[in-house]
């Protein structure tokens, strides 16, 4: 075990020299803090106004350029890039370098990413993988920031240990600060700049180059506002103009939301774009918290369907009966689906932090770019002149090459040969040295031709470069052309929608003022959270589409007609009411009107293309068909195929969703149903053999839902009822439509003839009688395929819902119909 050495002690009485300086603590703290603050401001947090980069970003791009990590080469490990940057240029932690590198590769953070990342570079909700797992290389736009660094376009400064050189600023062939924006927190100040569209920014820059005195209004014609990488909507442009004028301002960003019919009974808000730097997981978390705390109502579920193929898709499912516009207004209020962005254009100009407006930012960039191109042109001019100087010397030597060789061979040393060449041919030292280094293969006759050609090209290039340096206008034109080339190569369409005010931000399928939660004048309007119980129409088309209108305006003719716009049933009801669906088996099914999809308001006929199949609301048995929609609060009249009639009292069970409206005998089925509340209404039967019977509703007393009805019309053998309906008493416009055919015709065969007759021409007969003849068959006809009676005129429909105009003439004098060239399967009321 080693013995411990004794501690030396000072000899008593020995004098020790002391150098103690008294320093005021306040002064020392102020000086040290200012030095630290300046270091943070200048060397870390704030970008340079010329290239829009912070020092760490600039060093990353420069080092990747020096490493040859171009877009046409393979990716390398991010850790390798971080190590090179940290070891040579940026003596700070690897985490800070990697974080800056990752941000430049994220397409949701930068409008024009500068690094092409390979691997997990994170998302708005999650961080990236470690640097040892990811790979990177320069993106194509980054090359325009670092191009021509070898042509003395910018000043180089020593690195932290004075062993290497690094650019003080990058050449920046486009205004990166405006295009990609930036954010940073320094000491006593911070910067926050929004991204913009490359094409718009370059167009404004080119305009400023051509018109140096352009004002803010002119520039804003090209740059109306930010263009965020994630799209979304900017609401209110006053704050943007303030920021462009003074360098400070704010604006509101909103998610892009559309209303979609998720299922037949469910409506949802579908979010496809979110505000800048807001992730879907954050939105989902805030929505769940707001629903739990009862701040948000009307939301039943939220599903994130985002993937790489289709991008962001956040589906917010709404409960039935809630207004999508009102729910969206709540989401904007309580979640990050609406966010504020504060613009603070603090940037370094000549090493000093300044707050700049839009025009000033562009002016600083234009001055920088003019300086870069001027220095590049001067550098190229010097290189061309130097090369021309050498070419001229070579041409002199080649002309008299034999004597040149003799002078060189007869000289004792290189210095003597140089001096003799300079004296004999009046060459400069540079030309003489170049001749001495001449290779034998350059002594051919063809080499002289090449040199003369090169000499002419050099003189033209020198003339062009001198013209650029001698004319400010040509220099500006060159800078503008290069900017135009960048825009043509990398510009993309605008992603963010700019809206003047909230009233200009409608939901799809909703009115402007209602969707935005404001009135047309900008004043706040109170939207009911739940859909009010307003009057409406429930509509069933002949092709089985069902929907409801958003109001109860009269269903007039006109407007854009599409398929499914021929109505079989139209029921007057309210949005929160209930109606019944009657089937051929006599079953009544309760339907909530609120579950039906609402059609947008139109000036003419409602467009049933927004409806859904009725099978989404009910399950029908084998052979069971839907007869029509009926109200549940009125007395109904039902007619069956075997001629039975029944008036049903509206005493339906409240605790059941379906019940029997009539008890049918075997092989019988319901063929029609209509409201017959008035005793004077006429109940109408039309049979297959063209017999028509109508009698007052007063002759049939109302019965309970389990009753089987009474005899309505007397049928001949093998005859059956094809139509049953109700015609209002003394309706002058009521008509009867009959379409004949033959029982041997194949399905889809055109009908034989059609007849349209005023209903008043048919006399009333007693109940349970055979009625009167309604249609005289022509040769080859033996039955009716379609019959209808009601308020006219009417239009007919094939099974696909396409409207067919009926003949205006009533028929022939003999009671037969006129030819019908198109087949007709069903007939709707006059609104159809």
What are the boundaries of each domain within the chain?
53-171, 261-336, 374-482, 532-621, 634-832
- Residue % of the chain over a pLDDT of 70: 85
CA 503 to chain centre: 19
What's the per-residue H, E or C state across 741-755? ECCCCCCCCCCCEEE
Euclidean distance between CA atoms 206 and 183, whole angstroms? 26
Fold that domain 374-482 belongs to in CATH: Topoisomerase; domain 3 (1.10.268)
- Mean pLDDT over 162-180 rounds to 95
Q: Residue 804: its pLDDT value, please?
A: 64
Residue 826 above 70 pLDDT?
Answer: no
**11 pLDDT tier (thresholds 50, 70, 90):** low
- Model confidence band, residue 188 (pLDDT cutoffs 50, 70, 90): confident
Phi, psi for residue 670 in degrees, rounded to 5: -75, 135
pLDDT tens digits, 79-107: 999 999 999 999 888 999 999 999 999 99
More confident residue, 527 or 143: 143
- Predicted TM-score (pTM) of this structure: 0.74
Active-site residue flag, 133 = yes
Question: What are the angstrom distances between the C-alpha of 456 and each of 387, 388, 451?
Answer: 12, 9, 9
Beta-sheet pairing, 682-687 with 691-696: antiparallel
Tokens of 498: 């700019």
For residue 388, which of 442, 430, 426, 360 has the smallest C-alpha distance?
Answer: 430
Query: Whole-angstrom Cα distance, residue 337 to residue 329?
Result: 10
The whole-number pLDDT of residue 504 equals 42
Report the distance separating Cα 561 and Cα 574, nearest Å: 25
Give residue-wise pLDDT tens across range 757-798.
888 888 988 899 998 998 888 887 888 888 888 876 556 555
Q: Given this model, what pLDDT does residue 530 score?
A: 74
pLDDT of residue 522: 40
Report the run of H or E that residue 119 belongs to, with start and end: none
pLDDT at 802 over 80: no
Structure confidence at residue 693 (pLDDT) = 93
CATH 3.30.1360.40 fits domain 261-336: yes
**pLDDT bucket at 144, cuts 50 / 70 / 90:** very high
pLDDT category of residue 651 using cuts at 50, 70 and 90: confident
pLDDT class of 261 with cuts at 50, 70, 90 = confident
CATH class of 53-171: alpha beta
Judged against a pLDDT cut of 50, whether residue 593 lies above it is answered with yes
Cis peptide before 793 (omega within 30 of 0): yes
Which is higher by pLDDT, 450 or 216?
216
Q: How far apart are the first and last CA of the chain?
A: 111
- Based on its alpha-carbon atoms, the radius of gyration of the chain, rounded to whole angstroms, reads 44
Of the candidates 38, 133, 332, 762, the residue annotated as catalytic is 133
Q: Is the pLDDT of residue 505 over 80?
A: no
Identify the pLDDT of residue 816. 62
Asked whether 96 and 75 are in contact (CB, 8 A), the reply is: no
Pairing of β 598-599 and β 545-549: parallel
The percentage of residues in the chain with a pLDDT greater than 90, rounded to a whole number, is 46
Average pLDDT score over residue span 172-180? 95
Which CATH number fits the domain 634-832, given the four candidates 3.40.50.2000, 1.20.140.10, 2.120.10.90, 3.40.50.261?
Answer: 2.120.10.90
pLDDT tier for residue 599 given thresholds of 50, 70 and 90: confident
- Average pLDDT of the residues of the chain: 84
Residue 214 pLDDT exceeds 50: yes
Largest CA-CA distance found in the chain, in angstroms, rounded:
151
- Select the more confidently predicted residue: 529 or 332: 332
Q: What is the dihedral of CA 444, 449, 454, 455, to 10 degrees?
A: 110
Highest-confidence segment of 379-383, 533-537, 779-783: 379-383
């Amino acid at each position: 075990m080693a013995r411990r050495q004794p501690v030396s002690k000072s000899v008593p009485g020995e004098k020790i020299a002391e150098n103690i300086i008294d320093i005021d603590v306040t002064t020392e703290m102020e000086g040290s803090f200012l030095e630290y603050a300046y270091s943070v401001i200048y060397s870390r947090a704030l970008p340079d106004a010329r290239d829009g980069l912070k020092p760490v970003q600039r060093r990353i791009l420069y080092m990747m350029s020096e490493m040859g990590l171009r877009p046409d080469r393979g990716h390398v490990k991010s850790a390798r890039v971080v190590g090179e940057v940290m070891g040579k240029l940026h003596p700070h932690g690897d985490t800070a370098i990697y974080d800056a590198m990752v941000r430049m590769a994220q397409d949701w953070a930068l409008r024009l990413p500068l690094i092409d990342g390979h691997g997990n570079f994170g998302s708005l909700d999650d961080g990236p993988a470690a640097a040892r797992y990811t790979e990177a290389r320069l993106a194509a736009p980054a090359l325009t920031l670092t191009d021509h660094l070898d042509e003395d376009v910018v000043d180089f400064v020593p690195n932290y240990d004075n062993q290497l050189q690094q650019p003080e600023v990058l050449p920046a062939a486009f205004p990166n600060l405006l295009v990609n924006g930036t954010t940073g927190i320094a000491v006593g100040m911070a910067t926050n700049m929004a991204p913009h569209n490359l094409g718009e920014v370059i167009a404004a820059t080119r305009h400023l180059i051509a018109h140096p005195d352009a004002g803010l209004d002119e520039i804003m014609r090209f740059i109306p506002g930010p263009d965020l990488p994630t799209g979304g909507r900017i609401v209110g442009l006053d704050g943007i103009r303030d920021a462009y004028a003074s360098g400070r301002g704010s604006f509101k960003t909103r998610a892009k939301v559309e209303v979609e019919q998720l299922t037949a009974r469910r409506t949802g808000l579908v979010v496809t774009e979110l505000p800048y730097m807001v992730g879907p997981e954050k939105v989902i978390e805030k929505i769940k918290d707001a629903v739990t705390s009862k701040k948000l109502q009307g939301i039943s579920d939220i599903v994130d369907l985002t993937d790489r193929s289709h991008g962001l898709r956040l589906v917010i499912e709404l409960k039935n009966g809630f207004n999508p516009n009102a729910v969206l207004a709540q989401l904007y209020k309580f979640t990050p689906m609406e966010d504020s962005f504060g613009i603070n254009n603090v940037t370094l100009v000549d090493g000093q932090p300044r707050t700049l407006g839009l025009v000033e930012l562009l002016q600083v960039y234009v001055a920088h770019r003019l300086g870069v191109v001027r220095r590049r042109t001067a550098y190229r001019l010097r290189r061309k002149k130097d090369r021309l100087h050498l070419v001229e010397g070579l041409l002199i030597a080649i002309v008299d090459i034999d004597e040149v060789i003799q002078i060189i061979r007869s000289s004792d040393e290189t210095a003597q040969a140089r001096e003799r060449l300079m004296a004999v041919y009046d060459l400069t030292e540079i030309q003489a040295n170049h001749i001495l280094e001449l290779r034998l293969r350059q002594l051919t006759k063809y080499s002289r031709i090449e040199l003369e050609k090169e000499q002419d090209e050099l003189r033209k290039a020198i003339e062009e470069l001198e013209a650029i340096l001698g004319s400010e206008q040509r220099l500006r034109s060159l800078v503008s052309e290069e900017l135009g080339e960048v825009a043509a190569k990398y510009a993309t369409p605008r992603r963010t929608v700019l809206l003047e005010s909230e009233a200009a931000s409608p939901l799809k399928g909703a009115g402007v003022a209602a969707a935005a939660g404001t009135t047309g004048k900008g004043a706040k309007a109170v939207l009911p959270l739940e859909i009010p119980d307003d009057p409406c129409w429930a509509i069933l088309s002949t092709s089985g589409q069902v929907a409801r209108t958003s109001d109860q305006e009269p269903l007039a003719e006109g407007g854009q007609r599409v398929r499914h716009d021929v109505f079989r049933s139209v029921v007057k009801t309210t949005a929160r009411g209930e109606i019944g669906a009657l089937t051929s088996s006599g079953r009544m099914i309760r339907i909530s009107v609120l579950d039906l999809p609402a059609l947008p308001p139109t000036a003419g006929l409602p467009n049933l293309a927004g409806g859904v199949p009725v099978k989404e609301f009910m399950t029908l048995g084998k052979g069971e068909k839907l007869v029509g929609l009926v109200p549940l609060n009125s007395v109904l009249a039902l007619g069956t195929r075997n001629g039975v009639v029944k008036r049903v009292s509206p005493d339906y069970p409240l605790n059941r969703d379906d019940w029997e409206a009539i008890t049918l005998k075997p092989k019988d089925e319901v063929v029609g149903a209509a409201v017959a509340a008035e005793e004077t209404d006429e109940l109408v039967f039309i049979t297959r053999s063209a017999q028509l019977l109508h009698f007052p509703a007063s002759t049939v007393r109302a019965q309970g839902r389990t009753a089987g009805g009474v005899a309505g019309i007397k049928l001949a053998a093998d005859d059956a009822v094809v139509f049953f309906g109700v015609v209002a008493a003394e309706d002058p416009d009521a008509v009867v439509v009959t379409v004949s055919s033959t029982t041997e015709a194949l399905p889809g065969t055109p009908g034989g003839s059609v007849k349209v007759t005023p209903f008043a021409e048919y006399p009333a007969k007693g109940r349970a009688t055979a009625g009167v003849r309604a249609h005289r068959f022509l040769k080859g006809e033996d039955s009716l395929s379609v019959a209808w009676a009601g308020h006219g005129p009417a239009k007919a429909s094939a099974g696909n819902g396409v409207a067919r105009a009926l003949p205006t003439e009533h028929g022939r004098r003999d009671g037969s119909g006129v030819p019908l060239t198109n087949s007709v399967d069903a007939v709707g009321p006059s609104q159809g």
